[in-house]
Amino acid sequence: MQSREADIITKHKMLLLDLLITGWTFYRAKQTPSGQNVCIEVLNPLNTFIDPNPESPYVKDSHRAVIRKWLTRQQVLNQYGEQLSKEDIATLREAWRDTFDNDSYYVRSFAYCDGRPATDGIRAGREIIPGYPTDTYHSHHFELIPVYEVEWVEADKNFVMQRYKTVRIGENIYIIIGKDDTVVRTHDNPTHCTLSINGIYFTNRGTEPYSLVLACASL
């Protein structure tokens, strides 16, 4: 089992690699499902969209952020099932499914049609179970569902900044979470709050992300 120290080192490497390649790096701290701990999630710059605040160099001070994820139906049900209605769950089960190419439930990467395992070349050693002599190879793939997690901040009627969240699954399923009660505030400025998403970005004077790797590509 991987230690927490090794996991933090891995996340640090991912953040640095994202920053060097894309000019952006994003992460967020959120509660674990038990509510007893904090989890640091490294976000993919290709699937993270922010509305930056020109008055602040910090990502967390952005006005709005969208995180896009590509999940299987089972992952969606595991993460959001308790927040979905019966109609939404039925829609999810009907519209998105796992796909098999034959009736064999034996899992293997490749085998000849006569049952002989592929032991030569780059496929050697990939077999898990040989299968039946008359079987062709079996494949199994998942249909990935786009899931959008949206965060934004706005002032309420008492001029206190609040953070709001909502989730869209596919095209027609919405989870309206509303005001986020897990917002962390400071004693110095209790009416202010930020997004849960933070990070670093290198920008030029035109606020365009600057990538060190792309800048040195010609070298």
Return the higher-pLDDT residue of 57 and 58: 58
Q: Report d(CA 178, CA 165) in Å as an integer.
A: 5
- Is this model's pTM higher than 0.75 or not? no
Q: What is the pLDDT of residues 150-200, one digit of tens each?
A: 999 999 999 999 999 999 998 889 999 889 888 888 889 999 999 999 988
10 Å CB burial of residue 35 (0-12, 13-18, 19+) is exposed
Residue whose pair of structure tokens reads 């969208």 in the numeric block = 66
pLDDT score recorded for residue 94: 81
pLDDT score recorded for residue 168: 94
**Cβ atoms within 10 A of the Cβ of 82, count?**
7
Q: DSSP character for 103?
A: S
Distances (CA, A) of 119 to 48, 116, 123, 176: 42, 9, 7, 53
pLDDT score recorded for residue 134: 54
Q: Report d(CA 135, CA 122) in Å as an integer.
A: 21
**Is residue 149 scored above 90 in pLDDT?**
yes
Residue in 23, 15, 147, 125 with CA at minimum distance from that of residue 75 = 147
Domain spans, the chain = 4-89+143-215
**Is residue 32 scored above 90 in pLDDT?**
no
Which residues lie below 8 Å from residue 61, measured CB to CB, with a gap of 6+?
A: 53, 55, 194, 195
What the block records as the tokens of 15 is 């953040």
203: confidence class by pLDDT, cuts 50, 70, 90: low
pLDDT score recorded for residue 202: 73
**Is residue 119 scored above 50 in pLDDT?**
no
103: confidence class by pLDDT, cuts 50, 70, 90: very low
Identity of the highest mean pLDDT range in 26-30, 134-138, 160-164: 160-164
The one-letter amino acid code at 39 reads: C
pLDDT score recorded for residue 73: 86
**Cβ–Cβ under 8 Å, residues 167 and 149:** yes
Interval 125-147 mean pLDDT: 59
